[in-house]
Structure 1
Amino acid sequence: MKNSNIQIKEKTNQSLGVERERERERERERERERERERDNSTNSLSDRLIQYQQQVDVFSKNTLNSDQKELIKTILALLVESKGSTEYMLESVYQLLIQRIKVGLTFDEAPAAQVDAISYLKKNHKLSFGQDQNTNKNIFIIGENYDALKNLILIENEKDINGVGYDVIYIDPPYNTESSANDGNRIADDNEEVESGKFVYRDKFSRNGWLNLMKERLALAKQLLKDDGVIFVSIDDNEQAYLKILMDEIFGEQNFVANFIWQKKSDGTSGDAKSVRILSEYVLMYAKNAEQFQIKKDLRNLEDGSYTQQDEYVTTRGKYKIANLATNTLQYSPSMDYKIEIDGQVFIPGNDPDLYEQRVNGIVDTYDWAWRWSEENFWERYKNGSIVVKETGIYYKQYQYVDSDDKPYTRYKIRNNLILGTHGATGTAEFSKIFNKKKLFQYPKPVTLIAYLIDAHANKNARVLDFFSGSGTTGQAVLQQNRKDGGNRTYTIVTNNQNDIADRVTYERLYRICHGKGTKSESIDKWTEKTKPYQSNLSVFELQYRDVSITSDKTLDLLIKDVNQMLNEFGVETNWLTAERILTKLRSLKALDN
């Protein structure tokens, strides 16, 4: 019995020893994990420091002089070297410094709150559809766009491929008008004190509130743009001037491309006779890097079936079609009205000798017959083979590859900053057909407007992002443009679900244009009689939140599992994300409701 007790005691001691050794090994592993997290944190801080220092360098001299820039960079570097520094601290100090030191546009920034909640995206498999129809994913995210952008940044950064990011961003944000207030956005007093934990963007549409809303989101959006990417922002007179300055600050004045004037309304007699009738809105266009972005060239000549004839220059000039050299639609000029004699035959503009004599004697109309080119230019083109002579008159060749001066054809899709012929009423009419005249959304943008902007980017496989998606017009514009030019673009759109807009409007619209019917099999004959359903796919994600005020091992394990699952749904294979990285990157905008 005594020996038995001794054996039991020895086994117990052995078990305790093994367990203690296992515990020591677990503690060593935890220490190694903490060391890896510290290394990752240090690397992340260094990367963020470089990013901020580069941003400081691109500020114009009118915003920060060289001494101010060096002061900011020095303070940031010292902070990174300090023990216990975090990305949150670095970002907060950076924002404070540039607001206090720079000159130019200044406003009261909403103080950032260290919120104990993490956001992540979870796929809604029930709402998603068409996954087997093609491999490219169109994505619809339901939730706060600030948190959605942070998740998209993490997803793009974790992709182990070059060229990640979006080619085109289009947004149509709230315009900070009375209609915004009527939609539930209270107009706050600009002098009202803004407390850190209470600031909610969509509830404070003072100018300070609106500028904060835009600055935070545009700064995140810039991180998602490819180096040759471009962003378009619709706006009206209320905030256009402020937005222009803000975007100059975020994207750099050197990356400003254009301020488009979009004719939203046709001219009419309605309105207050004492005021100026406003017919237009604006679309601001910025490149991520103006040196790398190029507006798409207009290739319609290559696709136009009317170019059927060819000559000995076909390999260099392409095929051609002919047009009459004489015209009576241009303002008359005597230097363009002359006789042409070829092989004994005399030609005059308009082929009417009597009218020609009247013109020679000074009897002309403002728009009268003449040649398109001067006599010198005509004979140059005659020598280079660009002229066709017929009994009925003289014609010139319009080639596919070159212009009338025999120079490469380099006309661009967007040639000026005026957008005409696509009025706001068009967007309302399109929406009405899809929803059988139900008025579920006010003033949707025309599909043709957004398709026109998207098509400015040369990449027909562009990735398009809209994080103020509203009624989902951007998604439809992408699908329409793909059908028009055979492209393979994809879209990612984001909206919150305030007033059930995501469910009743955005998702429903995308479902209808892809299936040709509503989610409850409602007929949309007014739309389908002229448009074939797109039969595209859609992956739907919803923002979820986890409370991390108490970071137990179980809480962190669940968090890592959720985020890794999200990444896998976006095609990112990773199982090494640390809790520290997640806590740093995915802090939500607001605290969870108690």
Structure 2
Amino acid sequence: MYIENDEKEYEISQLDNKKRTNRSSLKKNGLLHDKILSYGDDTVSNKIIHGENLDVLKLLQEDFSNAFKCVYLDPPYNNGESYLHYLDNMEHEKWLSNLSERLRIIKSLLSEDGSLWLSIDDSEMHYLKVMADSVFGRENFVSTIIWEKRTTRENRKAFSRNHEYVLVYAKNALKWSKIRNTLPLTAEASDRYKNPDHDPRGPWQSVSANVQAGHATLNQFYTIVSPSGVSHYPPKGRCWVYSESKMMEEIKKNNIWFGRNGEGVPRIKKFLSDRKAGLVPETIWKAEIVGTTSDAKKHLLQLFTDTALFDTPKPEELIARILKISTNPGDLVLDAFLGSGTTCAVAHKMNRKYIGIEIGNHIRTHCFSRMKKVVDGEQGGISKDVNWTGGGGFEFFSVDK
């Protein structure tokens, strides 16, 4: 779906052309294995494939039906821009039709508890949402993530567009909601736990002891007398979360907080030591947490000192959060618009298996070169966060024409 820009076509050959004709005769499902561009140890699990993604997706259906736990797509946004490695200007209906054809195949490649994450901007976001609803079903739409892609002001346009979107779909939203991961507690969240009464069980935070009364029973309406003798009755339209006998037990166990002077409205103590789950993911992803386009370009500058940068890279921290929520180590990840190779780089560092597809020549100049450095232990992006030191490998394939 990428359209090569002939006027700006990138000069790619850093490899000896004679060596590249020494390609392996191995063919698997219409793919040619390139030994020269395969790298590292334990390469079988990870694949980078040069070819038109629709052709490759069709080829993958034979062996990878229901196999991918997560698919991330960063397709052309169809915003009319001209970039170094592709033109992003297609007739609207054709753009939608092309993406729809790919999404239908991707749905068949997703596991029953798998998820699809789609990056997009304002240009086509709402049309893409309606089209993706028709493929996955509105009931399987999970959420819209707002990513703060820049923190500086853009003064050349009517509005400074500081955000993009990530549409999240599940093959089966009910199944996915049961397996999706929470995020680690942040320092800010942990700081909410205090211990003002010096409880030996450690830090805690309080939550409301009353709830909406819509489905309440009679034994949830009663008066609670605080240690200081103040009587409390649930507010109008609400009831106590526990029955009276249960509430008395919790008070005796020092699980109910009445404030420092013992006169406050009763609240339930929740201890940090009892917390097993992390934070439920929110829908606004700030730049300070998941990085910006500028951060991604700075990383690429470190990786490619003599090579033209990819125009629209995503920061590794953004993709890492997606994979943290949607996958576990060993799960299989797919990116059908690989771009500069960020998804494969992050998946490799996070011990996920992956397949990346790209039609542009930058699959050699950027993706191959980047992944080679990842295998060798490069320290940019999320490397320090996940203690990445190198290892593993990948196979390189091309579509057999």
Q: What are the equivalent positions in structure 2 for 1:13-92 lying under 5 Å apart?
A: none
CA shift in 2, pair 1:439/1:384, >3 Å: farther
Q: Which residue of 1 aligns with 2:56?
A: 148
CA shift in 2, pair 1:127/1:455, >3 Å: same
Q: Name the structure with the higher helix share.
A: 1
Give the Å deviation of 1:299.
Answer: 7.3
In the alignment, residue 535 of structure 1 is paired with which amino acid?
G
In the alignment, residue 401 of structure 1 is paired with which amino acid?
D
1:541 matched to 2:400? The reply is no
SS at match of 2:38: coil
Give the Å deviation of 1:265.
Answer: 1.1
Structure 2 distance, partners of 1:138, 1:320, is: 46
Aligned with 1:506 (options 367, 381, 384): 367
1:492 matched to 2:394? The reply is no
Give the Å deviation of 1:141.
Answer: 0.7
Structure 2 distance, partners of 1:539, 1:279, is: 37
In the alignment, residue 278 of structure 1 is paired with which amino acid?
R
TM-score normalised by length of structure 2: 0.68
Give the Å deviation of 1:466.
Answer: 0.4
Q: Deviations over 1:367-403 (max 9, x none)?
A: xxxxxxxxx9x99865334489xx9xxxx6624435x
Structure 2 gaps, min length 5:
1-27, 191-199, 207-225, 230-243, 261-268
Give the Å deviation of 1:147.
Answer: 0.7
1:290 matched to 2:159? The reply is no
In the alignment, residue 155 of structure 2 is paired with which amino acid?
G
SS at match of 2:76: coil
CA shift in 2, pair 1:526/1:217, >3 Å: closer
Q: What are the equivalent positions in structure 2 for 1:411-450 lying under 5 Å apart?
A: 412-414=279-281, 416-421=282-287, 422=290, 423-436=292-305, 438-450=307-319
CA shift in 2, pair 1:453/1:516, >3 Å: closer
Give the Å deviation of 1:515.
Answer: 1.0
CA shift in 2, pair 1:453/1:437, >3 Å: farther
Q: Which residue of 2 aligns with 1:480?
A: 349
Contact 2:205 2:271 survives alignment (8 Å): no
Contact 1:171 1:232 survives alignment (8 Å): yes
Structure 1 distance, partners of 2:154, 2:53, is: 38
Contact 1:119 1:543 survives alignment (8 Å): no
SS at match of 1:129: strand
Q: Which residue of 2 aligns with 1:261?
A: 146
1:455 matched to 2:339? The reply is no
Give the Å deviation of 1:468.
Answer: 0.3
SS at match of 1:211: helix
Calculate the aligned-residue CA RMSD, in Å.
3.9
Structure 2 distance, partners of 1:320, 1:146, is: 57
Structure 1 distance, partners of 2:382, 2:131, is: 40
Structure 2 distance, partners of 1:464, 1:221, is: 12
Q: What are the equivalent positions in structure 2 for 1:182-331 lying under 5 Å apart?
A: 183-185=85-87, 187=89, 205-266=90-151, 268-272=152-156, 275-294=158-177, 296-298=180-182, 300=184, 321-322=202-203
CA shift in 2, pair 1:320/1:450, >3 Å: farther
Does 1 or 2 have the higher relative contact order (CA < 8 Å, sep 6+)? 2
Q: Which residue of 2 aligns with 1:583?
A: none
CA shift in 2, pair 1:526/1:420, >3 Å: closer
CA shift in 2, pair 1:379/1:262, >3 Å: farther
In the alignment, residue 279 of structure 1 is paired with which amino acid?
N
1:398 matched to 2:271? The reply is yes
Give the Å deviation of 1:182.
Answer: 6.5
Give the Å deviation of 1:544.
Answer: 0.8
Give the Å deviation of 1:447.
Answer: 0.7
Contact 2:71 2:110 survives alignment (8 Å): yes
In the alignment, residue 232 of structure 1 is paired with which amino acid?
W
1:165 matched to 2:31? The reply is no
Structure 2 distance, partners of 1:435, 1:182, is: 15
Give the Å deviation of 1:514.
Answer: 1.0
Contact 1:320 1:398 survives alignment (8 Å): yes
Contact 1:321 1:397 survives alignment (8 Å): no
| Percentage of pairs with the same residue | 29
Structure 1 distance, partners of 2:143, 2:277, is: 19
In the alignment, residue 94 of structure 2 is paired with which amino acid?
G
CA shift in 2, pair 1:185/1:526, >3 Å: closer
Q: Deviations over 1:401-424 (max 9, x none)?
A: 35xxxxxx555542x211113222
Structure 2 distance, partners of 1:155, 1:324, is: 50
Q: Deviations over 1:210-253 (max 9, x none)?
A: 11221111111111111111100100000101101110111111
Give the Å deviation of 1:457.
Answer: 2.1
Structure 1 distance, partners of 2:272, 2:382, is: 38
Structure 1 gaps, min length 5:
1-117, 158-163, 188-204, 307-318, 326-338, 343-375, 403-408, 483-488, 518-523, 546-594
CA shift in 2, pair 1:320/1:214, >3 Å: farther
In the alignment, residue 419 of structure 1 is paired with which amino acid?
W
Give the Å deviation of 1:292.
Answer: 1.7
In the alignment, residue 58 of structure 2 is paired with which amino acid?
K
Contact 2:345 2:371 survives alignment (8 Å): yes
Give the Å deviation of 1:180.
Answer: 4.2
